Structure formats: structure tokens, C-alpha cells
Amino acid sequence: MTLRVSTPQQEGVYQGSKYLKHQVLCDAEELKRLMDRLGSFFIYHLTGLNDGEPIGHARFLGEYAGWIEELKEGRIPSDGALRTTLACAWTVDADSLWKQEVPGNRYIVKVARPVVQVQAHFFTYSPIDEVFRPMTMGAGNIFWGLQFSFPQIYQDPKTMELLEIEECSNAELFQTIKQWVRDETRATPFVVNGKKTNVPIRLGKGCFSWIHKHPQLIEQKIGVHAN
């Protein structure tokens, strides 16, 4: 669905807080089952200049599947492609977004009401304090699928009223993602120097058979315990 063209003066500035986040590395079949479970929803880029049109489900899934295949073959997916393609909004309501026109018939997509924000997820491991830290950038970070995030409180950009998330059309969308995380994934049992640590970042059940091929895990001598 084509988004409305508007301006910050008309729309105000959206703000959300108290985000719930799920970080998941899953295979393409598991992600497809999630998208099938969600049913009808739209995907829009949230970074860079684009045409402001929705991304097809097949295209999104196909690009993600390509990156997972690279991991299985021991290659690291392109960092730039991950950050640009996997930075988007999932929404059942296109009115939750709008687009601002910029010179050259291009647009910047903006948020008006809460949407599920989906982006590439990276974590780091510190051998000094033996801590796994999700959603961290910089040297030594490890690609680990997707982060799904959704606020619990948001401010209406026009009235400035603070609103509970139950009043938002995408609340059920995020609840479905939350249930899928429980059904299809597990807390990841990482192993470093013979010590196993269950970490809240999740791993799809279908990934345990090949995760030992992940090149960044191999490089940092991090294993995953397979039951």
C-alpha cells in the first residue's frame, strides 16, 4: 500500500519507549513460518532514501535466506547489505507510517504510530568478563539474525498524549512474534573454553545442526552446545 506523503510540520515527531526486544537467528523456513503465521502485513524500509513502497514478503525472505546460506557455507554476509535491507517496519496498518519527499523523487519513511521494528542483529562476546552483549557494533561483532522490537508506551506526535500500547493496531502483531519465538527458538547455549552459558538471544531449533559452521563463531572459538 502506498504511504501518504506528508511533512514533519504536519505529522509531528513520534516517540516510543520501554521497548521489548527479541533477538533471533533462525533459518529461512522458520522465518517463513512466522510470516505465514502473521498473515497480512506490510514491510517498509526505515533507512536511506527509497521509493516509499512496501517490500514484498518473498523478496525480504529471499534476501534473508541468502545470508543464512552464506553462514552455512562458512562465509560472512555483507555487513552493508545486512544493515540496509534488514532495517524495516512491519505493520498491519500502513497509516502507522508516512513518507517525506526529498529531491529526486525519493522518500524517507517515517513512523507515526508504533510498528514492529526489524533490524539486523549483532552481538559481541567479552572474554574479560565472559559476557555476551546483544545489539552491539564494532570490531568482533557476530551476525545473529534479526531483532524484533516494539514499544510499550508511545507519545502521540500531534497531541503529545502518552498512550498505552494496547491502543495500537500492531500490538497483536508483536504478540504473535513473541509466541513464535517461544515455539520455534531456544535460548542459545553458548560454549566458551568448555563453559556452557545459556544466553537470552535465541537460536531457531532448525539451526542447531549447522550453527557450528558460523564463521564468526569459529573465528572467536565460540561453540553452541547441541543437545
Contact between 151 and 18 under an 8 Å Cβ cutoff? The reply is: yes
Give φ, ψ of 137 to 5 degrees: -110, 180
pLDDT digits over 78-114, tens only? 765 555 567 899 999 999 999 999 988 899 999 999 9
Angle of helix 171-184 versus helix 28-38 axis, rounded to 10? 140
Cβ-based burial of 91 (10 A; exposed 0-12, middle 13-18, buried ≥19): buried
Closest CA to 203 of 3, 78, 16, 26: 26
The mean per-residue pLDDT over the stretch 58-79 comes to: 90
pLDDT at 136: 84
In this predicted structure, what is the pLDDT of residue 171?
94
Contact 91, 42 (CB under 8 A): yes
Lowest mean pLDDT among 15-24, 161-170, 190-199: 161-170
| 190 φ, ψ (degrees, to nearest 5) | -70, 150
Residue 105, pLDDT score: 84
With beta carbons less than 8 A apart as the criterion, state whether 173 and 91 touch.
yes
